[in-house]
Structure 1
Amino acid sequence: MEPVLAAFSAECARLTGVLAELVDADLDRPTECPPWTVRDLIGHIRTGAGRLTDMLAAPAPARAEVDAAGYFGAAKFTVEVDADRIAGGQRDAPRVDRTALATEFDRAWRATEAAVAAAPPDRVVRTRHGDAMRLSEFLRTRVVEVGVHGLDLASALGRPPWLTPAAAVVIADLLTGGRKTPAGLRWDRLTLIHKTTGRATLTAPERAAIDASGFRWLAFGR
């Protein structure tokens, strides 16, 4: 739990600093998660980062039924679920002055940080999809949400990626199932994350190396 919580906190703190630097024109920029604008994507990230606060306040399920990899399964990317996710991001988009964006996000993720730190390490939570998961596993999905969508924000804002090393380790480990990448793929973690989440195109040699090894990435959508 501790390394994952540290990664979550580090990535959220980094994003808080980025949000504090935005100007009004940044909020209406399009992103590579259409139809979301930067403002919509911030709303989605803020909601995702703060979700555990209410989950930990609810009764705990008796046992976990899915892990972090299962959470990102195909059922999460049906047309209906995806439509609800898109509408939710637009609904949750912060309609506050841009100077309050960092404050609101900071408040949301720090409430999650405090709630997680106070919870038993074996705590089980129920997600909005109905999944019963160990707290530590769901927290891994929050690192993915903040870190990977941080890459989307960086692209939309024309900035270099700010993904923290701690978050990169958690995300890469989840995407690969803890296995090494196939021989011949000389990727660092940032490249691996871009490639495996569809945010960078695989070259023909890369695809051939993956196919030859029989390697299977975690199913992932935007």
Structure 2
Amino acid sequence: MDLFSRSWTALRTTVADIPDEDFEQPSGCGGWLVRDLVCHLLIGAQDVLITLVTPADAEPTVDAVTYWQLVEPPTGEDPLDALIPRLAAAYGEPRWLRHHFDDVGSAAGRAAELADPARRVSTRDQVLTVADYLSAYVVEWTLHHLDLIAHLPAAAQPPAETLASARASLERIAGSSFPASFSDKDALLIGTGRRTPTDAEKAALGDLAAKLPLVLG
């Protein structure tokens, strides 16, 4: 629960500090500008709010790790992926998108803090505890924080503890550990295909290299 708040607060703070002109910079998500990614994050915050008020009586079917499914890399043909840039552009000035993101994002953060960790909720036809759901989102927020600042060298990095947590989750998803020589950030970027490993890094990965990239959906 605490790591969710830290990762989400850090991400929201970074969005608030991005200069207007940098909303037109590319993000780490292929084909999306920074403004498009912020719009995607806004939808993610809405999903958190919806899930936290969707209680379930059934036994959990997934946990923080099995919540994630490995999928094929995006092709750009997903209708929602195509819709995001149009929605982001419709805001016009960055301040309106920033304001809406902060408004909904603040509400999602408060809802997470008030939620009972043991309560079961339903999302994507799955049932899991609030604690597991919010833990899963630490991976989402941390990866997208890296995407957000991919071409913004002056922007703040994700907190060290959330990078470490996201790496540990990705290793559990992969069923293998990344080399100890990899920083948490590099493990996440290389592990999810956001950065191509060098020859030395590929050699250090060993058999794990054949499993990459791990695309989460």
Give the whole-Å Cα distance in 1 for the aligned partners of 2:141 and 2:77.
18
Q: 2:9 aligns with which of 5, 8, 13?
A: 13
Where does residue 168 of structure 1 map in the other structure? 163
Deviates more, 1:101-110 or 1:141-150: 101-110
Structure 2: runs of 5+ lacking an equivalent: none
Question: Pairwise CA RMSD of aligned residues?
Answer: 3.2
**1:53 matched residue in structure 2:** 49
TM-score relative to the length of structure 1: 0.78
Partner of 2:128, secondary structure, is strand
Look up the equivalent residue of 2:14 and give its one-letter code.
Answer: V
Deviations 1:94-141 (A, max 9, x none): 7164234444333323322332333322222222x3222222222123
Between the aligned partners of 1:67 and 1:84, the Cα distance in structure 2 is: 28
Identity fraction in percent: 26
Can you give the 5+ residue segments of structure 1 that lack an aligned partner in the other structure?
A: none
Q: Does 1:134 align with 2:120?
A: no
Secondary structure at the aligned position of 1:126 is classed as: strand
Query: Does the 8 Å CA contact 1:16/1:106 hold for their aligned counterparts?
Result: yes
1:10-89 alignment runs, 5 A limit = 10-75=6-71, 77=72, 83-87=78-82, 89=84
Tell me the TM-score normalized by structure 2.
Answer: 0.80
| Letter matched to residue 12 of structure 2 | T
Shift of 1:16: 2.8
- Work out the CA distance in 1 between the residues paired with 2:19 and 2:152: 11
The answer to whether the 8 Å contact 1:44/1:92 transfers is no
Write the letter of the residue equivalent to 1:132. V
C-alpha contact (below 8 Å) 2:49/2:111 kept by paired residues: yes
Contact 2:35 2:94 in 1 (8 A): no
* Counterpart amino acid of residue 116 in structure 1: A
**Given the superposition, is the C-alpha separation of residues 84 and 132 from structure 1 closer, same or farther in structure 2, using an over 3 Å criterion?**
farther
Instruction: Write the letter of the residue equivalent to 1:208.
Output: A
Which secondary structure does the structure 2 equivalent of 1:63 belong to?
coil
Q: Secondary structure at the match of 1:156?
A: coil
Question: How many equivalent pairs are there?
Answer: 215
Distance verdict in 2 for CA 1:190–1:50, change over 3 Å: same
CA pair 19-96 structure 1, distance change in 2 beyond 3 A: farther
